[in-house]
Amino acid sequence: MNTALSYYFNEEHEAFRQTIKQFLKKEAEPHIDQWEQEGKIPREFWKKFGEMGYFGLAYPEAYGGSDLDFFYTVVMIEEVSKVFSGGLAITAAVQTCMSTPYIFHHGSEYLKEEFMRPAIAGDKIGCIGITEPGAGSDVQNIQTRAIKEGDYYILNGSKTFITNGIYGHFVILVCKTNPNAGAAGVSLLVLDLNSEGITKNKLKKLGWHSSDTAELHFDNVKVPTKNLLGEEGKGFYYLMGGLQLERLAGSIMGYAACEGMLEYGMEYMRQREAFGRPINKFQVLRHRVAQMAAEIEATKFYVLQTCRMHNEKKYAVKESSISKLLASELADKTAYQVLQFFGGYGYMEEYKIARAFRDSRIGTIGGGTSEIMREIIAKMVIDDANYDRATSNEKSSNEEQKPTTVEGIFATLPSRFKKEKAAGKNLSVLFKFDTANYLVQINDGHLDIQSNANNEQASADCIVETNDETYIAVETGKINPQEAFMTGKIKVSELMKMMEFGGLFKRL
Ligand SMILES: Cc1cc2nc3c(=O)[nH]c(=O)nc-3n(C[C@H](O)[C@H](O)[C@H](O)COP(=O)(O)OP(=O)(O)OC[C@H]3O[C@@H](n4cnc5c(N)ncnc54)[C@H](O)[C@@H]3O)c2cc1C
């Protein structure tokens, strides 16, 4: 094994790689041309994929998963990205990294049993439904509405470009449950795609031919309120957390596709002769290969380092955005250059590079465009101070009565504590500020706040680090918490724990 790679992958990971490689060689590769032509991968394949445990690598055994570290998922995505069918790779990635994680992190037991367990088993395929005809990059502007009526939400609106939306079984639907509340009105519902009132239209597209991409219309669809993920109004927040994994999966797909394409190209160059010698003897082409190999390896290590951060449960917004930007743009460039090695044959359907060329084009668009990645990175690198005012927080008319010091805000915690909701919960958060620390502990409905807690001694479930000014601005609704996270003004060691903690207190 490459010694540098062994920093990320151990022998068990590599043994697992051999197993999934063999599985794909036998069960997928002989059929890919047909699946690409038919625009569909048969259910039976995904059932076998589930039975092999590939959909549940990182999930607890209690739900049929294998409870393994994130690098097994990395291996799985690498290998599905090397079979020269982006459509196959994206279905596996959407299932494991873009839809089921929301149920795992925020779903009730009912939702886990109804949707996550069958998804892990390969019986149900999931989707993520964010994009709408009028809102892609601008997620906050989505118009799909779910208005509560008794035990149901009544859903109206449209989604577009939804991967797995035709043959899939459920969608994690991003919608507005309170259309007047901006980002705080966004919620996530798990919608059964067989519900009455859904119209589906299969879209024709440039690449990813074996994957189904759908336009979905919702006409008074009844969604049970028990299908709400987490809490109403927290959808945007959940999405910000989930998108990091989505972008990381896209990054792994990007560099792995590059490796597959370069290897395929080099094999061709060894065999193809021009001017009496193999074309891999021409210096200009050798240097092009060398340059590509260097860029792919550098990008891969950056992405793997970000995977390591993810594995250690760090909220790596900047790193995930950089990974996605670099890996997806490199995949596009690699496809272009490797196709050139093939000359006219590269333009022919019977050569896999033609398909890879088509498939790579989506990488810089789906899951957040390159421009949006640069926006996020620019905000973090340049440290733009132009924060939007919070659209989420219900602004109180008596703004002046809100506390203006960290001490003052912590003094309000007992009166804002949702004691009943905290029953049975054990959670501790250490807040580190410029001049003071606070350890907030919740033990089965009891709240305990220690000021100036000793950093070394306090072992907390989550550590929040920020300065006084930012914290006060977030708490009093002057800046958007997502913006504060995404620009690195607030560092949160465990985002999910922090969300859980935040849900136990009323807003100021
Ligand atoms: C094959 C395929 C599969 C997909 N799968 C899914 C899926 O499963 N689920 C899902 O929800 N979505 C999915 N998408 C949608 C995808 O995520 C969006 O297409 C993407 O986020 C861009 O949104 P948009 O197409 O509306 O482009 P727009 O947001 O309209 O952007 C148009 C152009 O303007 C640029 N732009 C926009 N805002 C800014 C800005 N602030 N600064 C600079 N430039 C900007 C964009 O980068 C882009 O170049 C898929 C798309 C495709 C093509």
- Look at the domain 401-502 and name its fold: Nonspecific Lipid-transfer Protein; Chain A (3.30.1050)
φ/ψ of 155, rounded to 5, equals -105, 130
- Centre of ligand 1 from the C-alpha of residue 503, in Å: 31
> Residue 452 has what pLDDT?
79
CATH number for region 5-123: 1.10.540.10
List ligand 1's pocket residues with C-beta within 6 A.
Answer: 127-131, 136-137, 161-163, 205, 208, 213, 362, 365-369, 371-372, 375
Q: Quick: pLDDT tens for 139-172.
A: 888 999 999 999 999 999 999 999 999 999 999 9
Catalytic machinery residues: 246
Testing ligand 1's pocket by substitution, the residue of 131, 171, 201, 332 carrying the most ligand atoms inside 8 A of its CB is: 131
Atom 23, ligand 1: residue with shortest CA distance = 136
Q: Quick: pLDDT tens for 407-465.
A: 889 989 988 888 888 888 899 999 998 888 999 999 988 999 988 766 655 678 888 88
> Residue 397 has what pLDDT?
39
Testing ligand 1's pocket by substitution, the residue of 102, 125, 161 carrying the most ligand atoms inside 8 A of its CB is: 161
Atom 16, ligand 1: residue with shortest CA distance = 366
211 and 90 Cβ atoms separated by less than 8 Å: yes
Q: In the predicted model, is pLDDT for residue 375 greater than 50?
A: yes
Residue 55 has which token pair? 């959909």
Query: Which one, of 261, 284, 307, 266, lies nearest residue 89 by Cα?
Result: 261
Q: Which atom of ligand 1 is nearest to the CA of 207?
A: 1
> Residue 206 has what pLDDT?
97
Atom 37, ligand 1: residue with shortest CA distance = 137
Q: How far is CA 458 from CA 424, 429, 431, 437, 463, in A?
A: 21, 9, 11, 10, 10
Atom 6, ligand 1: residue with shortest CA distance = 162
Burial class of 401 by CB neighbour count within 10 A (0 to 12, 13 to 18, 19+): exposed
Same fold, 127-236 and 401-502: no
Atom 12, ligand 1: residue with shortest CA distance = 131
297 and 267 Cβ atoms separated by less than 8 Å: no
Query: Which one, of 221, 201, 61, 243, lies nearest residue 145 by Cα?
Result: 221
Residue 365 has which token pair? 């668009």
Residue 496 has which token pair? 């999910």
Q: How far is CA 19 from CA 13, 53, 57, 252, 339, in A?
A: 10, 11, 14, 19, 30
Residue 373 has which token pair? 């990645």
> Residue 492 has what pLDDT?
78
Contacts of 131 (CB under 8 A, 6+ apart): 159, 160, 161, 162
CA 42, 44, 49, 50 torsion-angle sign:
positive
Atom 30, ligand 1: residue with shortest CA distance = 136
- Centre of ligand 1 from the C-alpha of residue 134, in Å: 10
> Residue 486 has what pLDDT?
58
- Centre of ligand 1 from the C-alpha of residue 365, in Å: 6
Of residues 256 and 241, more confidence is placed in 256
> Residue 292 has what pLDDT?
98
> Residue 454 has what pLDDT?
65
Atom 26, ligand 1: residue with shortest CA distance = 136
Atom 7, ligand 1: residue with shortest CA distance = 162
124 and 130 Cβ atoms separated by less than 8 Å: no
3-class state of residue 304 by DSSP: helix
- Centre of ligand 1 from the C-alpha of residue 390, in Å: 24
pTM: 0.80
> Residue 267 has what pLDDT?
98
- Centre of ligand 1 from the C-alpha of residue 321, in Å: 15
- Tell me the mean pLDDT in the region 60-84: 97
Q: What percent of the chain has pLDDT over 90?
A: 72
- Centre of ligand 1 from the C-alpha of residue 491, in Å: 28
CATH superfamily for 237-262+280-339+353-382 is Butyryl-CoA Dehydrogenase, subunit A, domain 3 (1.20.140.10)
Q: Quick: pLDDT tens for 377-403.
A: 998 887 442 323 233 333 333 445 678
- Centre of ligand 1 from the C-alpha of residue 138, in Å: 9
Atom 45, ligand 1: residue with shortest CA distance = 371
Q: Which atom of ligand 1 is nearest to the CA of 211?
A: 1
Residue 218 has which token pair? 């919702």
φ/ψ of 298, rounded to 5, equals -65, -45
- Centre of ligand 1 from the C-alpha of residue 474, in Å: 29
> Residue 11 has what pLDDT?
94
N- to C-terminal Cα separation, the chain:
55
The strand pairing partners of 439, in sequence order, are: 430, 450
**Tokens 């504590």 identify what position?**
417
Testing ligand 1's pocket by substitution, the residue of 166, 365, 375, 386 carrying the most ligand atoms inside 8 A of its CB is: 365
> Residue 398 has what pLDDT?
44
Contacts of 118 (CB under 8 A, 6+ apart): 124, 169
127 and 160 Cβ atoms separated by less than 8 Å: no
- Tell me the mean pLDDT in the region 350-378: 96
CA 448, 454, 459, 464 torsion-angle sign:
positive
> Residue 382 has what pLDDT?
77
Q: What is the CA radius of gyration of the chain?
A: 24
CATH number for 127-236 (one of 3.40.50.10740, 2.40.110.10, 1.10.600.10, 3.90.550.10): it is 2.40.110.10
**Tokens 């020269």 identify what position?**
84
- Centre of ligand 1 from the C-alpha of residue 221, in Å: 26
> Residue 167 has what pLDDT?
96
Domain borders along the chain are 5-123, 127-236, 237-262+280-339+353-382, 401-502
Q: Distance between CA atoms of 437 and 452, rounded to whole angstroms?
A: 4
DSSP 29: G
Q: Which atom of ligand 1 is nearest to the CA of 165?
A: 8
Query: Which one, of 83, 92, 77, lies nearest residue 263 by Cα?
Result: 83
> Residue 478 has what pLDDT?
76
Burial class of 456 by CB neighbour count within 10 A (0 to 12, 13 to 18, 19+): exposed
- Tell me the mean pLDDT in the region 36-54: 97
Q: Distance between CA atoms of 266 and 285, rounded to whole angstroms?
A: 10
Q: Distance between CA atoms of 98 and 101, rounded to whole angstroms?
A: 6
Q: Which atom of ligand 1 is nearest to the CA of 174?
A: 11
Burial class of 2 by CB neighbour count within 10 A (0 to 12, 13 to 18, 19+): exposed
φ/ψ of 388, rounded to 5, equals -70, 150
